[in-house]
Amino acid sequence: MLLEAALRLAPDAMSWKEHVSGLKHLVSDDPDLIAKIEERLKRSKHDGEIKHWERKTAEKKKQSERKKLKAKASWIQLWREIADHPDVAFSPERRKTTAWDLWRVMQQYGENHRESGWNRLFIEKQFARKTADQIRKILMDVWRGDRPTLPKERPEDQQNTYLVWWQLGLAGIYAEAEDHKWATKLSVEEAEVACRYAPIELNGLPHWMKNLVIQYPEAVNATLGDELSWELEQKPRGQARSMLLQSINHADETVVEVFIPRIRSWLDSNGGLADSEDRVSEQAQRLRQVIDVLLKHGDKNLLAWLADLAHRRLQFQMPQEFAFVWLPTLMKLEPKLGLDALEGQLQSIEPSVRSVAVTWFSVLFGDSSDAVDFSHPGFTGELLLRLVRLAYFHVRPEDDTVHEGTYTPDTRDHAERARSQIVGAIFALQGEEGWSTKLEMVEDSSFEHLKGRIMAKAEEGWALEVDSVAFDDAQAISLDRIGEAPPSTNEAMFAILKDRLADLDELLLRDFSPREAWGGIGDERVMRREIARELTQTANGLYKVDQEAVTADEKETDIRLRSLGSESEAVIELKLADNRTARDLRDTIFDQLVRKYMAADNCKSGCLLVTLARDRKWQHPDTKQPIDLNDLKGLLEKEAKRIEGTMADEVALVVHIIDLRPRLPKENA
């Protein structure tokens, strides 16, 4: 094994033979390994071919070196002509030739200059600022002195070609566009000529088109807009994509706005349906390109119009290639209408391994870059459930392809991935909708094999949502400094409330416990003040205790904790249980705590705080049986859970009992 590795570790192909021969002395005690080396050193039948390519490579390398030397010598000569004899280099007879020669050099120097052909930094570094200004002036004259033809103006066999000289004019516009006000100094005729240079750009429209559009939108529309309309009207011939439309799609929004009316007009009139049976795939490809532009750059009104058009187009019989464009468009814009249309397409299709339905799921939700995105708010839990049932009906797991080793995914593989994507979208749903959708999915026998995973995801999502409170700077600093942060949500406020109630229990166990003093209080108003004072002392800068919400005669006995980091509040309703019935305490949870104090959206955390200072029993409000303190606590907690359930968990309630009775009997004197 080590010898096989060593045989492949030659520094390069030229020294391979010497390297392999040098391995012999390392294995001289093993004849088998020596024989293997000898076998490897035998002349291969491919040696002649290898030698041939080695000679070719060496020859190309020499040619490249000669070309570089020749180019360097040519550049030195040009440099000397400009540096030593600028009057000659920039004379009326030579100025364009000089500009051409420098442009060819600038194309090869630095980054991002191959397209523009203008590099002031290079000129100033090699010569001087004055020389760069001279070249810029010449190039500005060059582009004005020519008039490039557009593809529609050329013979059919020359529509994809242009003169290299026009690239020099393009560089001239880039040079002039150094001045951000350059477009304001143009005439209408000059603006139209500048537009003619734009399609020559190799990678999209030039950046200076934005300035041109702002100043002369009519000239741009009349020149390039007409060219775009002409391209869209042409019968597809091999290349269905419009290069101009592709460039527009990647342009600045200001530029795209000029062309949107023409694109919409073409689509509304004759671009939505196949105009012949010839080259249907190419026609559909062009339609997809047009719609991509509208989806990317359209405003709310335009997208609403496009959704309506897609819905209307799908009412017609059309080639499948066109349906594969219109239905994904509708699904992206109006998911419910799109799903209705999909169900209509699949209603008569029987499930099979490679049915048309499988193709539909592959097209809509597969691995393509323009697949439907489930982040659209229209994909509700109800809609995703309909979709996942449809997916499992047509893309059945028992028909899934099993691959071994590497493979190239096909339509079936993409459909299987689409099915998984839909399940993943359901797993990603949050809140009450996410929980209820997952539970409904569990109850569906079609997903029996996923039951355990669905429940695990539901519980995991719930836990993450509970712990997913994001802190701002002030909260983060507070968390780092004191270990706590002001609550910013009702959930966080509820957690703080329960924590401070636990602190009260701990206080009553300390050596300086106020248990005896509190046990002697028989007035809820006084008890409220004592508890409010303790809650204030443990606030830790997270909340403030507010008693101002009580009435003037202090008949209300609630305590409010108001967060200092948000508008969230928690309310405590205090009751002394020494003289109250179990029914009174139970009814207090809803009648007073929830209905009176927790109506606001920012106050959904509540506590019934009950104190007891003497031994006693209560009568169960339903069974009329005597109950003790533990039974009373269970009764109140059950009522709190019932109320939470009836209110769809919009409120969070806790029952807390402070037992002020003596913990231990008095010691004998």
The pair of structure tokens assigned to 336 is: 């419910």
Give 580-633 pLDDT, tens digit per residue.
999 999 999 998 899 888 888 888 899 999 999 999 999 999 999 999 999 999
**CA gap 513, 505 in Å, rounded:** 10
Percent of the chain with pLDDT over 70: 90
Consecutive H or E run containing 456:
helix 451-466
User: Which pLDDT score is estimated for 141?
Assistant: 94
Backbone angles phi, psi at 354, to 5 degrees: -130, 50
User: Mean per-residue pLDDT for 124-130?
Assistant: 90
β pairing state of 605-612 and 652-659: parallel
Q: Name the nearest CA neighbour of 641 among 574, 597, 594.
A: 594
Q: What is the pLDDT of residue 555?
A: 47
| pLDDT at residue 550 tops 60 | no
pLDDT level of residue 46 (50, 70, 90 thresholds): low
If pLDDT is split at 50, 70 and 90, which confidence band does 646 have? confident
pLDDT at position 239, please? 64
| Most confident range, picked from 140-144, 345-349, 478-482 | 140-144
Whole-angstrom distance, CA of residue 348 vs CA of residue 99: 69
pLDDT, tens digit, for every residue of 374-386? 888 889 989 999 9
The predicted pLDDT at position 272 comes to 64
For 275-296, the pLDDT digits (tens) are: 666 678 888 888 999 999 999 9
What's the token pair of residue 548?
A: 């101002």
Supply the pTM of this predicted model. 0.62
Position 379, amino acid: F
Q: Which of 101, 110, 99 is nearest to 140 (CA)?
A: 99
Domain extent listing, the chain: 2-41, 66-178, 474-659
CB-based contact 54:62 (threshold 8 Å): no
Q: Work out whether the CA dihedral 254, 258, 261, 263 comes out positive or negative.
A: negative
CA count, 13 A, side-chain hemisphere, 78: 21
Q: Over the stretch 205-231, which tens digit does the pLDDT of each residue have?
A: 999 999 999 999 999 999 999 999 998
Q: Taking residues 568-574, what's their average pLDDT?
A: 91
Give the tokens for residue 637: 């907690």
pLDDT in tens, 251-269: 999 999 999 999 999 988 8
The lowest-confidence range among 175-184, 431-440, 504-513, 528-537 is 431-440
Length of the chain counted residue by residue = 669
Give CA 282 to chain center in angstroms. Answer: 31
Task: Read off the pLDDT of each residue in 81-86 and give the average, rounded to a whole number.
Answer: 89
Instruction: Report pLDDT digits (tens) over 416-475.
Output: 999 999 988 988 888 778 888 888 888 888 888 888 888 888 777 766 665 555 666 766
Torsion sign, CA atoms 189, 191, 197, 198: negative
pLDDT for 138-156, tens place per residue? 999 999 999 999 999 988 8
